[in-house]
Structure 1
């Protein structure tokens, strides 16, 4: 049976256009707005857009977007200004905004027509106001959208550019070509995969001919008449050869668009009644005709987690499929690191369930029937063998279930890969369940601080890795950005590290899948119960669809990180009284202050205060990070001498690479028990590093450094009365008192909740010295391990560290190396023993 590809380009054949190509050669004009391109622009304006305004052909639609967005932004293009766009669109939209000098501001979409939601746009305007220089809605999948709404934005002074890449051929409600006569730029694609298929190219249309002329000037380096740039510009011209293809395509274009619309109607007829109360969902159509590049449907929620299996089943029958746009913009590492992303629940839902089916110029209704029959059969088979089958009943046993695929969970994979054992770990049926859309990031990118791990630590995760795809990340653009911070005294800004750790997570996840493992994103493990045979049965919920299933595993690794509870922070006894009683409603958790926007929230709280007083309570890295944020805020906060006080229980210790380095710097407050016997490091575990270290050295006046007069240090045991008074008199109190482990509810064979050490008050441990999760009595829970923030492992023995250290060891390097390897060894040994048994 013939294969039905998802997309089958059918541009005009150059071999049939020899006369037109020879004419180009004879004229000797190949670009720069030659007669072929100019003739095509005029014909398109007259035949498609009814003579309204004008058209401009460009090298491709992305160039058209870049030009149009830059022109619409005008002098507002620059740092801190936004281009508002929906999350459910192609990456080119956001890239074009960045190239035009704007930051993408990504909002949610409407659940019906999948275009930007009016309420989401309104919320963005309410929050960001005139910082939104341009709005760039997407006419989703060749649809028509409400241009009146955007004309309203334009009248209020906001630039508007419509990304209509796939909509050349769409008809609006009045039967006109979508975008006809619009007062702003409408950008269409003529890529080979589009309904208006050429090799490459784009078109910008507007009812404002003067606007098109300004854009035309920008396509030619900003030249106006003389060869002297009078404004922004690039080379975006469409060459004559591609103009020839476009002119030829225009001749038969109407029939192509109508044929594809007929195939779309056939799909809707065939699939519209499937599983009536839980069926396939189609995009709500706006306008008289959609320009259909491929057929986009949403899978029933019960089948969303089985999309890969459905696509494989269709592929086996010679039917090509895709999933545009999954991931959506808010799920892609570059934009997660470089855009501002509003809540995207509808985008998340669409991305999880979207399935793209074939529509091509050569297809006939019988081909659509074949695709629909194959799709329904695949779903019916999954209903019998999948949704009600092995995995849902929990009869398949995964060797290991990693609960959490953030920095700690992926650090475990990194540790395995460094030993060359990741494939072995995955081959046993390892599964990873992560709440986010991707592996790696966790919540690390939501903080406004720098890392306490060096750039070198981040890069050692990939350097010389046995897996080539992982090793190549050292030269990836995100790896190069991390490398800029090598050798520095200040760590990598956490929000700038996310692209790298997500790229690393993506490669590690692929290795796991390629070797028989399983990765479930946008999912969470609700609880796990130990069965009589020692296997753990975990209840896993898909956060997008709400569907639940049981995953059985011989071992579980909890890598869900830590958290701060305001109630716990308030209950902490400081200078003889609960901190909450001393601070009242002036108390802010350290976690909230350190997150993105924390300084701005503090500005709002203290806006009416001429000289605010701020007390930080805690002696951890997060406490020092809070102090650093306050002192380096830009614009500066109105902090006078001693305005910030940091209250800590134990002396603040800086890290040094050797005792000699400490002595040379004038630091002598350490003894033999404070030196790691394995490395010679002074305060290897207890010492502050990077930015926090620099601040500690200043405040302790080490090596002749001058303290910052705005900050005062106060040892609580030495001056409890002073601490109480400072907290009671402070305008804001930041409780930076560490994190609690986020434990997973565990139940025994009788269904009774297992009380864990992590459930105890304060800041308890999750694990013992072998990274085994421990119950309330300190006994290891069989087959359950823990890693990550607040897990509580204290390195000893061959792991090194100073003998005087008694706190929790949190550090990316330890997770990616010694601690991670400890868990990998135990899990693989357990897997081997289980196979022998």
Structure 2
């Protein structure tokens, strides 16, 4: 009997291929492949309307969007950020010659803990870069109060936060000076590869758009040392089509999460993050924490599932602060980041995506229960 196909922690949600073919035909007919073509312009407008944000600048990926967001605000010196994230968060700082300063995280949300930020501020601090981890909004009000008190910029790594809204109905992406999205294949909303910067006004968007196109203003004028970060027409066209399907995809993710919460609620030693109140969520990840009361250690459970073809991930282990290019920073000392280290030792992200069948989800649940 052939082995079952692997179950990945996530799987890209794609529209039916036949629905994408007319878009491809238009690209072939126009011969416009990049440089702000028709689909690029349509997608920026449609995405801004869908997300409820003022301005969107599309990028070829989220990492270049982070790098450019920092450049657009002329950030230098030190930036306070979280060690509990994907490495692109801190890498974007290093690419700009900025020193990351790591603050510990909140034990409930796993987002940067505002109570830890203020003590890390020095005369060299110019900004805060929080992450809406797993799509749970940061304490944006507390972070903004600190930023205002010390005249700091705030750039949100919102890679997980597509479509997240707070109780007041406003998009979480409108907080801070800029927010950065990722449309990577692993995300709730994907364009194969892609990203975006959400900016509050036309002037900010104009500077960002110059920077993502080598700094060009027109054919003969270059105003900044920009980079080639433009999204192609292919990716923009896919994004337009994906907007028609993302609502259904999020609903299906919510169903998967509900079943996990129902069937794993009483497993000793296994805990789940609290569902944030007053937030419209996107169910981008489903992390569980494997604590001391569970029959085996987190890594043993990880291996049990992997051996069964269930490719769970330890998002985020190791911490960014443990990688060789960061561990020598004073703020990377483990004793300064106890909550982040505890989370990294316990976290396990379970498979969650629209095409996950109930039978496959039951396999995951049964193996966890042992």
Distance 1:54 1:309 in 2: 46
> Equivalent residue for 2:285?
294
> Equivalent residue for 1:21?
24
Contact 1:106/1:340 (CA < 8 Å) preserved in 2? yes
Distance 1:287 1:331 in 2: 34
Residue in structure 2 matching 1:327, options 301, 314, 318: 318
Distance 2:315 2:288 in 1: 10
Is 2:244 the partner of 1:251? yes
Q: Point out the structure with max Rg over C-alpha.
A: 1
Distance 2:93 2:127 in 1: 9
Superposed, 1:597-636 pairs within 5 Å as: none
Contact 2:270/2:293 (CA < 8 Å) preserved in 1? no
Contact 1:57/1:201 (CA < 8 Å) preserved in 2? yes
Q: CA, structure 1 residues 246+6, in 2 after alignment: closer, same or farther (shift >3 Å)? A: same
Q: CA, structure 1 residues 281+302, in 2 after alignment: closer, same or farther (shift >3 Å)? A: same
**Secondary structure class of the residue paired with 1:301:** coil
> Equivalent residue for 2:54?
53
> Equivalent residue for 1:225?
218
Superposed, 1:129-528 pairs within 5 Å as: 130-155=123-148, 156-179=150-173, 181-182=174-175, 184-275=177-268, 278-283=269-274, 285=276, 287-303=278-294, 306-337=297-328, 340-341=331-332, 343-365=336-358, 367-377=360-370
Q: Deviations over 1:197-225 (max 9, x none)?
A: 22100011133332122111111112223
Q: Deviations over 1:31-56 (max 9, x none)?
A: 1111101110100111221xx41111
Contact 1:184/1:208 (CA < 8 Å) preserved in 2? no
1:158 Cα deviation after fit: 0.9
Distance 1:53 1:302 in 2: 47
The two structures, once aligned, show a CA RMSD in angstroms of 2.2
Alignment TM-score, normalising by the size of structure 1: 0.42
Residue in structure 2 matching 1:11, options 14, 19, 22: 14
**Secondary structure class of the residue paired with 1:204:** strand
Q: CA, structure 1 residues 2+221, in 2 after alignment: closer, same or farther (shift >3 Å)? A: closer
Distance 2:277 2:226 in 1: 35
1:29 Cα deviation after fit: 1.6
> Equivalent residue for 1:119?
115
1:142 Cα deviation after fit: 1.9
Residue correspondences, number: 364
1:7 Cα deviation after fit: 1.6
- Structure 1 residue runs without a partner (length 5+): 378-837
Q: CA, structure 1 residues 280+183, in 2 after alignment: closer, same or farther (shift >3 Å)? A: closer
Contact 1:182/1:207 (CA < 8 Å) preserved in 2? no
Distance 1:254 1:339 in 2: 44
Q: CA, structure 1 residues 87+154, in 2 after alignment: closer, same or farther (shift >3 Å)? A: same
1:173 Cα deviation after fit: 2.4
- Structure 2 residue runs without a partner (length 5+): none
Distance 1:183 1:88 in 2: 20
Contact 1:182/1:208 (CA < 8 Å) preserved in 2? no
Contact 2:127/2:147 (CA < 8 Å) preserved in 1? no
Q: Deviations over 1:465-513 (max 9, x none)?
A: xxxxxxxxxxxxxxxxxxxxxxxxxxxxxxxxxxxxxxxxxxxxxxxxx
**Secondary structure class of the residue paired with 1:334:** coil
Distance 2:16 2:100 in 1: 38
Contact 2:154/2:176 (CA < 8 Å) preserved in 1? no
Distance 1:258 1:334 in 2: 40
> Equivalent residue for 1:83?
79
Q: CA, structure 1 residues 232+152, in 2 after alignment: closer, same or farther (shift >3 Å)? A: farther
Residue in structure 2 matching 1:93, options 89, 96, 102: 89
Contact 2:15/2:245 (CA < 8 Å) preserved in 1? no
Contact 2:135/2:281 (CA < 8 Å) preserved in 1? yes
Q: CA, structure 1 residues 233+244, in 2 after alignment: closer, same or farther (shift >3 Å)? A: same
**Secondary structure class of the residue paired with 1:134:** strand
Is 2:99 the partner of 1:106? no
1:119 Cα deviation after fit: 1.3
**Secondary structure class of the residue paired with 1:280:** strand
Contact 2:272/2:289 (CA < 8 Å) preserved in 1? yes
Residue in structure 2 matching 1:43, options 29, 41, 46: 46
Distance 2:179 2:103 in 1: 20
1:252 Cα deviation after fit: 1.1
Distance 2:330 2:360 in 1: 41
Q: Deviations over 1:553-574 (max 9, x none)?
A: xxxxxxxxxxxxxxxxxxxxxx
1:272 Cα deviation after fit: 2.1
Contact 1:85/1:105 (CA < 8 Å) preserved in 2? yes
Q: Deviations over 1:766-790 (max 9, x none)?
A: xxxxxxxxxxxxxxxxxxxxxxxxx
Distance 1:21 1:366 in 2: 36
1:261 Cα deviation after fit: 2.2
Distance 1:82 1:35 in 2: 39
Distance 1:162 1:356 in 2: 22
Q: Deviations over 1:652-706 (max 9, x none)?
A: xxxxxxxxxxxxxxxxxxxxxxxxxxxxxxxxxxxxxxxxxxxxxxxxxxxxxxx
Alignment TM-score, normalising by the size of structure 2: 0.91
Distance 2:276 2:306 in 1: 28
Q: Per chain length, whose mean CA-contact separation is higher, i.e. which structure has more relative contact order (CA < 8 Å, sep 6+)?
A: 2
> Equivalent residue for 1:67?
68
